[in-house]
Amino acid sequence: MSKEETRKIIHIDMDAFYASVEQRDNPELRGKPLAVGGSDGRGVIAAASYEARKFGVRSAMPSRVALRKCPTLLFVKPTFEKYQAVSKEINAIFSRYTPIIEPLSLDEAFLDVTYSKYEMRSATLIAQQIKNDIRNELDLIASAGVSYNKFLAKIASDQDKPDGLFVITPDQGAAFMEELPIEDFFGVGKVTAEKMKANDIFKGVDLLPYSKWELQQLFGKTGGFLYDIARGVDHREVQSERVRKSVGAEMTFSKDVIGEIDINEKFSQVFDKWWTRYESHGRKGRSVTLKIRNYEFETITRSITEPNYVSDKVEIREKLDQILHESIVEGVPLRLIGVSISGFEAEDSEIASQQLTIW
């Protein structure tokens, strides 16, 4: 058997994490449609309970839209310090079974249990035990995907939510991918999906006639990755120490910001906060992105990639000022401004091989 087939990867995904923590801590919220986020006209849903999802309420949805879908929707403001503390407790459970843990966010992580320190050798039984530990000790529900690579493990964890446990074995991987709709390929957004459909690619099996070179011509770097995963192949390792891929800062405004003077004032606050974080990061980057969101929740991003690593605060501020001026529409209020930087030193050569953007 190949190295790819012998690996045992688990992807744990907490079910409706923020909302579930709130329902756990407040019995009056249990069994009711709940949203974590702001309830005013400018609020956005950070997480929704499964009771709310039955009405079509989803994360990133404007609160006013969510209320139209579910008039009985309850709101609680997010408490990220609490969620971070619970996430640490979850990771402590993971560490009982393996030291190779790659957190993706507060509520999900990859675990490589190929050589687990636990007495069980079955990845499926380990995944079930982890789910049991989380339920019994933290009173929370997790779904698990088990497979021989990261991509399939992540796909698997989403197959039987909530409280799911789904396994894709090495002899099932290629056939499973053949039937998987391209919309379910993690990392394939709407634009890429439409481009794939325009080329009569609707499921994994439709990728198989294409050579790797042809897919790269159609979809750039992602094409090579698509070639592999369509065949159930993903050689990426679980990285127990993830390298931060970007450093950013953003500000969401409680009131609409309009007019050049007010917008520049808010942008200065965001820029200074971002620059402080960037300097503290200790690594220089080249790709800077400006993000703005208007009162209609339309998000606009503009990026520049410098030939040299960014080190001059005044110079990059002038360039971002120009991009901001070109991006805003006179008379249209803003609700969010953000700045981030990526393409760090010693990272550029790694990105293509790791294909991190697909996730």
Q: H helices of the chain, where?
A: 3-6, 17-25, 50-53, 63-69, 80-94, 123-138, 150-157, 173-179, 190-198, 212-219, 221-229, 260-281, 313-327, 348-354
13 is in an annotated binding site: yes
Do 21 and 60 form a contact (C-beta atoms < 8 A)?
A: no
Pairing of strands 142-147, 74-76: unpaired
Amino acid at 232: G
3-state secondary structure of 342: strand
Would you say how long the chain is, in residues? 359
Instruction: Give me the catalytic one of 22, 51, 102, 108.
Output: 108
Give residues with Cβ within 8 angstroms of 303, minimum separation 6.
287, 288, 289, 290
Please give the DSSP secondary-structure letter assigned to residue 101.
E
Is residue 107 a known part of a binding site? yes
The strands making up 74-76's β-sheet, listed across from edge to edge, are 45-48, 34-37, 74-76
**Do 38 and 61 contact (CB within 8 A), yes or no?**
no
Sort strands 45-48 and 34-37 into parallel, antiparallel or unpaired: antiparallel
Active site residue 108: yes
**What strands lie across the sheet with 287-294, from one edge to the other?**
246-257, 334-342, 287-294, 299-305
Residue 83: CB atoms within 10 Å:
20
Binding residues: 13, 107
Binding residues for Mg(2+): 13, 107
Catalytic residue IDs: 108
